[in-house]
Amino acid sequence: MKAAKTLIFLYFAALMAFTSYAQPGIADYKLTTGKVKEYQKAEWNIHISAPFNNAYDQADISLNMVMTSPSGKPIVLPCYYESGDEKASLWKARFAPQEVGRYEYHFVLHTSGKGLESANGSFIAEPGSEKGFLHKNNLWTFKYDNGELFRGIGENVGWESRSFEKDKWTYDYLLPKLSGNDANFFRTWMCYWNLPLEWKKVHSTKRYSNSDAYYNPGAIKRMDELVNLTDSLNLKFMLTMDWHGHLMEEGGWKNSNYNAANGGPAKTPTEYFTSQKARAMYKNKLRYIVARWGYSTSIAAFEFFNEIDNAAFNGADSVLIPLHYITEWHDEMSRYLKDIDPYGHLVTTSVSHRDIPGMNSIAYIDFNQKHIYKHTDKIPGIYWNYINGFGKPYVVGEFGYRWEDDDRKYAVEADYDFKRGLWYGLFSPCPILPMSWWWEMFDEQNMEPYFKGLRQISDEMLRAGKGSFEQFPVSSGDIEAYGVKCGNKYFIYLLNNTDATVSTPVSFAASDKNYTISYFDPNDQSIKPGGKLAMQAGKIVIGSFRLPAKKEKLIVVTAN
């Protein structure tokens, strides 16, 4: 009798397993977050029974969370696979509400050519203390969801220390130093030695290991940690999702997951851009990134490529990848990313020094980028050239005294270049100030405290002008001068770029009668009041201003 009962139990167990397998669907779901708050992560566990060959291929299987916001806005949120097999798998939804109130939702599973829906659910999003996601505003600023303005001040932290570099240069060490010195922005890469999401074979790193998994589990774990860290530090960052070396024969192409030699869909770097299968593979990556980390307000912008022109051309400037393919690819991918991202993150890409025809005009690229080395003096003039040509914000994503290496024998020159590049940006129409390269060297030079002065003046500009920036000419003899009027305040940056002390009057056109003046030292953030000024023949004249060689000063003149 006992044996018969056992057989009956096994029969029904097998029948239930077969039925579950034969009738795929969403078994159940659960909101695991206690209270859902505006602009903060809420997370759901979704249990699924459905066949799949590759849980990361949306053509095979995909799960979306379909919502209606309190204002009636429809929202489709990609969900991501966490673990399990075709009989029982765990998926997750991560969502940050951009509205307060009641959301209605359900899940939709696409598998085996079918669309299967879950039961309906709802949740209440309560007010939170965060500002929201960053979006385009004007040439000078981005804007949070709550309306507050933002200008990015920081540097590149391109990657954590490689295997041949000092172990201390990690996100955990560098990012708190940036935040603690009032920087609010940085830029970092995904590549085969840093956050190697798509790399089965890693190089130059002790932090990550080779893996046969579709996405490198070490990269997933570290990216989770990075997002949590930046959220806690209130730092925004640009996530560069690929770099030019990936498509270079002498770089990462030989180990690329896209390379047909490794089982990928593209025989050549050109096919990376032209193959429909390669494009589908890349879209799967975008979907995963948005699903897993898109909720984070710390991710200010998604950047497709670092310096794509360095893959498109060889050293002699001969074209290796037809340029129109690169432009077409960026057009398609930026459109797709905007379609699947419910938060509307900023989208960009970058070149080193050679523009790709048509790429600066792509509708779904929110701001354009170029990198400038050995020509920091050209930064003030670059912005209007591109703004007038393409009508969108422009960012200098990298700059530096040298691009070859961070040889410490050039530290004095590099520090000087670091300082003036940042101020050039603050007095120019750009929502993110130029970002220096060689973060390791500048850390050893203890340059992070310098961000405090920039942030102090930037915040004062935003308060005074409430988003209004007007450049104005300044007469200053042999001293470089840049002026911006914000509200009732005139900000002037003065730099003696000569090798001798210069004394000269400083003047600019004005319209009010009475003013007060103060002097700001960017190095120690000290402010010295200079008393009252009166307009003379339509100008404000600041006596004989003396500035030593290679030194700088900020003047703030306030109309009373």
In tens, the pLDDT along 78-102 reads 999 999 998 999 999 999 999 999 9
3-state secondary structure of 147: coil
In this structure, are residues 207 and 105 in contact, taking their beta carbons and an 8 Å threshold? no
List, for residues 178-203, the tens digit of each pLDDT value: 999 999 999 999 999 999 999 999 99
Q: Tell me the residue ranges of DSSP E strands in 411-559.
A: 470-472, 480-486, 489-495, 502-509, 514-520, 527-534, 539-547, 552-559
Q: Where exactly does CATH 2.60.40.1180 map onto the chain? A: 470-559
Tokens of residue 386, six digits: 């591109």
* Mean pLDDT score, 431-438: 98
Q: Where exactly does CATH 3.20.20.80 map onto the chain? A: 137-464
> What is the pLDDT, as a whole number, of residue 139?
97
Is the pLDDT at 112 greater than 90, yes or no?
no
* Mean pLDDT score, 207-226: 98
> What is the pLDDT, as a whole number, of residue 15?
35
Query: pLDDT band at residue 535, thresholds of 50, 70 and 90?
Result: confident
Query: pLDDT band at residue 258, thresholds of 50, 70 and 90?
Result: very high
Q: Tell me the residue ranges of DSSP E strands in 85-199.
A: 89-95, 101-111, 114-117, 121-126, 134-136, 142-144, 149-150, 154-156, 185-189
Is the pLDDT at 3 greater than 50, yes or no?
no
Work out the angle between the directed axes of helices 217-233 and 171-180 (0-180°, nearest 10). 20
Is the pLDDT at 440 greater than 60, yes or no?
yes
> What is the pLDDT, as a whole number, of residue 13?
42
> What is the pLDDT, as a whole number, of residue 244?
97
What percent of the chain clears pLDDT 90, i.e. is strictly above it?
91
> What is the pLDDT, as a whole number, of residue 341?
98
What dotted CATH number matches 470-559? 2.60.40.1180
Query: pLDDT band at residue 511, thresholds of 50, 70 and 90?
Result: confident
List, for residues 217-243, the tens digit of each pLDDT value: 999 999 999 999 999 999 999 999 999
Is the pLDDT at 9 greater than 90, yes or no?
no
> What is the pLDDT, as a whole number, of residue 536?
85
Report pTM.
0.94
Is CATH 3.30.450.20 what the domain over 137-464 is classified as, yes or no? no
Is the pLDDT at 18 greater than 80, yes or no?
no
In this structure, are residues 312 and 323 in contact, taking their beta carbons and an 8 Å threshold? yes
> What is the pLDDT, as a whole number, of residue 372?
97
Q: Which helix (H) or strand (E) holds 22?
A: helix 2-22
Tokens of residue 372, six digits: 């400038």
Q: Which of 11-15, 22-26, 324-328, 410-414 has the lowest mean pLDDT?
A: 11-15
* Mean pLDDT score, 71-79: 98
Select the CATH number that applies to the domain covering 21-126 from these four: 2.60.40.10, 3.40.630.30, 2.160.20.10, 3.10.20.70: 2.60.40.10
Please report, for the chain, how many H helices and E strands are present, in that order: 11, 28
Q: Where exactly does CATH 2.60.40.10 map onto the chain? A: 21-126
d(CA 409, CA 402): 12
List, for residues 33-65, the tens digit of each pLDDT value: 999 999 999 999 999 999 999 999 999 999 999
Q: Which residues pair with 103 in a beta bridge?
A: 123
Chain-centre distance for alpha carbon 522: 27
